[in-house]
Amino acid sequence: MTKEKSLPESYYQLMEQIQAVDFVLVELTLYLDTHPQDLDAIKQFNQAAYESKQLKNQFEERFGPLMQYGHSYSSYPWNWKEAPWPWQV
């Protein structure tokens, strides 16, 4: 009944790095929503956003698109729909 395919260690490591930096981005977003004048926080946010994009480029090169509707590129054949989906990891 399990449909999980086995993934390389690098998948989990890279994914965890992305999740860590994206957590910073979520927290800073919520903070900045009510503290728009905090320049240091904005600098930290943009730095983390850059880092997130770098990590995700690496991830997507190996494991396929993370975002839909054109926020990630596709390879051939179309691989957006491929497993694993997050609840299968």
Contact residues for other proteins, defined by CB under 8 A: 1-2, 12, 15-16, 18-19, 22-23, 26, 29-30, 33-34, 65-69, 71, 80, 85-87, 89
DSSP state for residue 88 in the 8-state scheme: G
Burial pattern 46-71, b for ≥16 Cβ within 10 A else e, equals eebbebbeebbeebeeebbbeeeeee
Q: Which is nearer to other proteins, 67 or 78 (CB)?
A: 67
| Minimum distance from residue 51 beta carbon to other proteins (Å) | 16
CB of 43 to other proteins, least distance (A): 19
Q: Which is nearer to other proteins, 22 or 51 (CB)?
A: 22
End-to-end CA distance of the chain: 15
